Structure 1
Amino acid sequence: MRHTRIKDLLNSTSILHEVNAKGWVRTFRNNQFIALNDGSTINNIQCVVDFENTPEETLKRITTGAAVSVTGNLVESKGAGQKYEIQVTKLEILGDSDAEKFPMQPKKHSLEFLRENAHLRVRTNAFGAIMRVRSVLSYAVHSYFQQKGFVYVNTPIITGADAEGAGEMFQVTSLPLDNLPKNEEGTIDYKKDFFGKHTNLTVSGQLEGETFAMALGQIYTFGPTFRAENSNTSRHLAEFWMIEPEVAFNDLDANMDLAEDFIQYVIKYVIDKCPDDLKFLEGRLLEEEKSKPQAERSEMALLEKLNFVLENNFKRVSYTEAIDILRDSTPNKKKKFQYIINEWGADLQSEHERYLVEKHFKCPVILFDYPANIKAFYMRLNEDGKTVRAMDILFPGIGEIVGGSQREERFDVLVEKMKALGIDEEELWWYLDTRRFGSAVHSGFGLGFERLVLFVTGMTNIRDVIAFPRTPQNAEF
């Protein structure tokens, strides 16, 4: 008999005869009541077992974590908090679970404990909800760009280019590490490596994406990226996913319009499609907030924060204006900021970004026209010679969520910037070709997908919004 998803059973408009459900036991009470979940919804369905006519040996095998199949009638529930339940006429144990050793017992677990059991944590309500929201957000990303006529491009994971110029990349090699070949200069001979040159895992698909935008008009990438940054914070991963659109003929203003519209679309999409999961995550966040000191508690509940982004136009503010606001702010004057703002040119930190959004403007903020020396080489230089057409979108509770820019389309200016930063023109000859042949104004941005999931789910550690986090000294599972 074909089984029906629990989500569909709970959404039924009438009682049903002879339904079959399969899932994992969350709890089993009084030798009679199974709380069954199959991952299709945050909600369990109650299955009422005829314990008097069920073999005792079978009842003993109904333990937390066990996989079972139940067949019976879907009837109106006599218990509170649920519309339907299954009166079980046939029960089959599909997979036993050692109840004493099963880590995901029906109780509150610390997030650190769950990270240590990442292969099983998705069986908890919280991580089931997070991963369903992540899935829906992923679909929303593709839905938005496909509706707008963007072409989805798969840029390479293995590359010889460092898009950010930071040098924090994972090297890819097939050379024997215990006997590296050397050239006449005594350095590693990468000509004998698999690709014949020094290669790495990509930090961004942007540079390759630009080449496609200059032929297809508007493209987007959505794939894994990697950074070998030795940072053990709640905001960093070594492996993460990036969304990167690139659009020919878009200037910075059009780029900001696109980013704002895109973010509001995907957040609205997940609010519409995941009401139960978001309601659960909001409740979880409220409980977590109670244990924090009053000063550290969020001023907005989860859904309020999401609607805050939907209901407010994003305030556009130049970096220079933002520096003036921060320099004159009370927390800066009273040295409450960890990083005091003294002069123009400072690289803004999360505390500064959140102050602008949460305290000063009280709406999402887009900062633009940053100092050239704190931004990447490919960003278009302004006429003042000291700022570039960069933009960052700042959100409550998280700070920067999007970074983008109008790209430097002028060949001579781009070459001069590369020389000043010591970037080898021969390494990026193909990138420079896009400026040699039919160059045009174009723009794009990057959005770290996990940071978006972090914001939408209300979680506070980025390791909790990806299936198997990769961080320094941790590549388990």
Structure 2
Amino acid sequence: MDSEQAAVVEIPVTLSKYSKRVILKTVLGRSDGGLGLLGERVVIGGWVKSSKEVRKEPVPPTEVDAGSASPKDVSCVEVLQSRVPFLRSIMKVFGGGGHYPVREKLGPVIPKPPPPSIAILQLSDGSSIASLQVVVDSSIALPSHLMPTGTCVLAEGILQQPSVQGKHVLELKAEKILHLGIVDQDNYPLSKKRLPLEMLRDSSHIRPRTTTVASVMRIRNSMTQATHAFFQNVGFLYVQVPVITSTDSEGCSEKFQVTTLLGRERKEEERNSVEHTVGVSLEVVKASIKEKSKLVEELKRSESNKEALVAAIQDLRKSNELALQLEEREKTKSGTSHKPYKVDFSEDFFSCPTFLTVSGRLHLESYACALGNVYSFGPRFRAEKSESKKYLAEMWMIELEMAFSQLEDAMNCADDLLKFICKWVLENCSEDLAFVSKRIDKTIVDRLQSMTSSSFEKLSYAEAVEVLKKVTDKNFEAKIEWGLPLTEEHESYLADEIYKTPVIIYNYPKELKPFYVRLNIDGKTVAAFDVIVPKVGTLVRGSQNEERFNMLSARIKELGLPKKQYEWYLDLRRHGTVKHSGFSLVFDALVLYATGLTDVRDVIPFPRSCGKADN
């Protein structure tokens, strides 16, 4: 063995720090495919991707030399028993079988044990696309328990060369099964092979066990790492913004309200309902009054039991009072049932209307005004019933704010961030990219490489409108005119058909952007920009924000927004104002771009859309 081969053999097995098992990626991801680990004893765990059963060949009996056999080896009884079928056949031939029948042994019929076999499992632990072949003898565990797709197996054994020729360079010969999580095959969603992604959405808690979704999640994880690496490398601080806020960050978006008052009116009615508390209705009480009145009359006529009469009269009086209370409650209920229920938010948990945040940029501004450059990464919520495949009710956003920066700085930062993440994915996800390229979109790698090397096309909103007006070979569904929003169709045509590269559109009409965006000198447009990429559409929405107190205050008044809600935001202009800019990047849409998928529900672990929040 040469020195190079010896170096490969000496590489130790890498154990998971907290479970004492070997992560399959550290075995199968080696340059030698794991051959340097042959003979190692390891513990591996994972889920069965596929399996098959191979019957073991029966071992032929060994012939024993009669002259060399000792009396202890074979008894006379055993010899006779072994010859019974042969003797019986001879007796039948000579006709003696009827006179001297051989007595059959009585007793229960014992079923034959299944023939010995070997289960060959393809096991994956989610660390990589590759799976490890594991062979388990039926004497260790029943193949019927091991083989169903999805079965969880923790096994200890020896890494060896494959017993059957195939694509695998090594396999694990299991010697112990340490854990077995069996599967209910009839109800397991992944029993069928190659289920379409739209069907997997109904089982989002199980679908990461599929190769496609697992690859997408590993790519998503890598992009998350890249995001933090980029900002930490260029001196940004990570700041967590609130999920619950009283501020409408956009000023015009549909929001999810957060309240503890829901259903309070119904609960109050139940609490005050006599029928609910005493368990009787008005009709039952009236019937009881009739019976009790008869009893009182009978006792009065008899005059024999004055104590019983007094008790019956008191009981009747209480029933009459209860009936009056029930009648009064029913009148009150019928008179107020149609009155609208007015919510008093002073009695709510936060004592004011609160919402799930739409954007964290306003809150980030307060930290940018103290710390310089800051960013946040987290979920944002919009209660819009959109049919778009690129937006959901809950989306993850990368957001940042930079002090002492202007519009051009924010655009350059967005350019650098997108290129950094795409380059990171190319360098760190080659195996998963190869798989999704084969399974989903063959152009993924070329598209990511193009993003890292190409220059973004920049044009103003007015220029974009003029370019689209000149298009003659395409009839757009929505009208193209200055002042109207560009639709997904317009934006996609610019990026996919005209420029065939990412496009940055800036200086939008002020009516199309949030109230906090800085007003330009022309008084008609604002310093906002969007980054549009091929295949996906708008990834980034950013702006230079209004630092002038009078301008921002006037904008809030112009749009009719509640000024009290934004007093804290105006304080940033009253006390040490600074020019600043930032943007929001739709992280889930960027994962779409990197994987070639077309529906955002397939790149989010647990998608939340209108009418769908099952798990």
TM over 0.5: yes
CA distance in 2: counterparts of 1:426 and 1:92, whole angstroms: 63
CA distance in 2: counterparts of 1:61 and 1:18, whole angstroms: 21
Asked if 2 retains the 8 angstrom alpha-carbon contact of 1:66 and 1:93, the reply is no
Asked if 2 retains the 8 angstrom alpha-carbon contact of 1:62 and 1:93, the reply is no
Choose from 35, 48, 53 the match for 1:25.
48
Residue number in structure 2 paired with 1:297 = none
Residue number in structure 2 paired with 1:215 = 370
Cα offsets for 1:415-438 (capped at 9, x unmatched) = 111111111221100100111111
CA distance in 1: counterparts of 2:29 and 2:536, whole angstroms: 35
CA distance in 2: counterparts of 1:54 and 1:155, whole angstroms: 54
Cα offsets for 1:144-202 (capped at 9, x unmatched) = 11111111111111111111112411111112434299xxx984221111111111111
CA distance in 2: counterparts of 1:83 and 1:261, whole angstroms: 42
Asked if 1 retains the 8 angstrom alpha-carbon contact of 2:140 and 2:175, the reply is no
Residue number in structure 2 paired with 1:326 = 468
Residue number in structure 2 paired with 1:149 = 235
Residue number in structure 2 paired with 1:15 = 37
Name the aligned partner's letter for residue 147 of structure 1.
N
CA distance in 1: counterparts of 2:477 and 2:415, whole angstroms: 30
Cα offsets for 1:81-116 (capped at 9, x unmatched) = 333322333334421112233211251112221011
1:194 paired to 2:349: yes
Asked if 1 retains the 8 angstrom alpha-carbon contact of 2:52 and 2:147, the reply is no
Residue number in structure 2 paired with 1:338 = 477
Residue number in structure 2 paired with 1:204 = 359
Asked if 2 retains the 8 angstrom alpha-carbon contact of 1:350 and 1:399, the reply is yes
CA distance in 2: counterparts of 1:323 and 1:349, whole angstroms: 11
SS at 1:89 equivalent: strand
Residue number in structure 1 paired with 2:558 = 420
User: For the structure 1 residues 2 and 59, does the alpha-carbon distance in structure 2 shift closer, same or farther, using more than 3 Å as the test?
Assistant: farther
Residue number in structure 2 paired with 1:295 = none
Q: After TM superposition, list the pairs within 5 Å mapping 1:424-443 onto structure 2.
A: 424-443=562-581
Instruction: Report sequence identity in percent.
Output: 40
Residue number in structure 1 paired with 2:319 = none
Residue number in structure 1 paired with 2:154 = 69
CA distance in 2: counterparts of 1:308 and 1:129, whole angstroms: 22
1:351 paired to 2:351: no
The Cα shift of 1:40 comes to 0.6
Asked if 1 retains the 8 angstrom alpha-carbon contact of 2:24 and 2:131, the reply is yes
Residue number in structure 2 paired with 1:317 = 459
Residue number in structure 1 paired with 2:22 = 4
Residue number in structure 2 paired with 1:289 = none
CA distance in 1: counterparts of 2:235 and 2:428, whole angstroms: 23
SS at 2:149 equivalent: coil
The 10-residue stretch of structure 1 (99-108 or 212-221) with the greater mean CA deviation from structure 2: 99-108
CA distance in 1: counterparts of 2:166 and 2:51, whole angstroms: 17
Asked if 1 retains the 8 angstrom alpha-carbon contact of 2:456 and 2:503, the reply is yes
SS at 2:565 equivalent: coil
Residue number in structure 1 paired with 2:258 = 172
CA distance in 1: counterparts of 2:468 and 2:194, whole angstroms: 41
CA distance in 1: counterparts of 2:518 and 2:607, whole angstroms: 35
Q: After TM superposition, list the pairs within 5 Å mapping 1:247-258 onto structure 2.
A: 247-258=402-413
Residue number in structure 2 paired with 1:291 = none
User: For the structure 1 residues 105 and 176, does the alpha-carbon distance in structure 2 shift closer, same or farther, using more than 3 Å as the test?
Assistant: closer
Name the aligned partner's letter for residue 19 of structure 1.
V
CA distance in 2: counterparts of 1:3 and 1:426, whole angstroms: 58
Q: Which structure carries more helix by proportion?
A: 2
CA distance in 1: counterparts of 2:482 and 2:208, whole angstroms: 46
Residue number in structure 1 paired with 2:590 = 452
Asked if 2 retains the 8 angstrom alpha-carbon contact of 1:76 and 1:84, the reply is yes
The Cα shift of 1:11 comes to 2.4
SS at 1:460 equivalent: coil
Asked if 2 retains the 8 angstrom alpha-carbon contact of 1:241 and 1:449, the reply is yes
The Cα shift of 1:38 comes to 0.4
Cα offsets for 1:31-50 (capped at 9, x unmatched) = 43210000111111112334
The 10-residue stretch of structure 1 (201-210 or 98-107) with the greater mean CA deviation from structure 2: 98-107
Q: How many residues align?
A: 455
SS at 2:401 equivalent: strand
CA distance in 2: counterparts of 1:233 and 1:471, whole angstroms: 10
* TM-score after normalising by structure 1: 0.91
Q: After TM superposition, list the pairs within 5 Å mapping 1:35-434 onto structure 2.
A: 35-51=122-138, 53-54=139-140, 57-77=142-162, 79-105=165-191, 107-179=193-265, 187-286=342-441, 301-332=443-474, 335=475, 337-341=476-480, 343-434=481-572
CA distance in 2: counterparts of 1:97 and 1:396, whole angstroms: 43
Asked if 1 retains the 8 angstrom alpha-carbon contact of 2:255 and 2:358, the reply is yes
User: For the structure 1 residues 186 and 20, does the alpha-carbon distance in structure 2 shift closer, same or farther, using more than 3 Å as the test?
Assistant: closer
Name the aligned partner's letter for residue 321 of structure 1.
E
Q: Which structure carries more strand by proportion?
A: 1
Name structure 1 gaps, 5 residues minimum.
Answer: 287-299
User: For the structure 1 residues 4 and 189, does the alpha-carbon distance in structure 2 shift closer, same or farther, using more than 3 Å as the test?
Assistant: same
Asked if 1 retains the 8 angstrom alpha-carbon contact of 2:146 and 2:153, the reply is no
CA distance in 1: counterparts of 2:425 and 2:487, whole angstroms: 29
CA distance in 2: counterparts of 1:408 and 1:119, whole angstroms: 44
CA distance in 2: counterparts of 1:93 and 1:197, whole angstroms: 52
The Cα shift of 1:54 comes to 4.1
The 10-residue stretch of structure 1 (151-160 or 93-102) with the greater mean CA deviation from structure 2: 93-102
* TM-score after normalising by structure 2: 0.71
CA distance in 2: counterparts of 1:471 and 1:358, whole angstroms: 27
Tell me the C-alpha RMSD between the 2 structures: 2.0
1:468 paired to 2:596: no
Name the aligned partner's letter for residue 37 of structure 2.
I
SS at 1:338 equivalent: coil
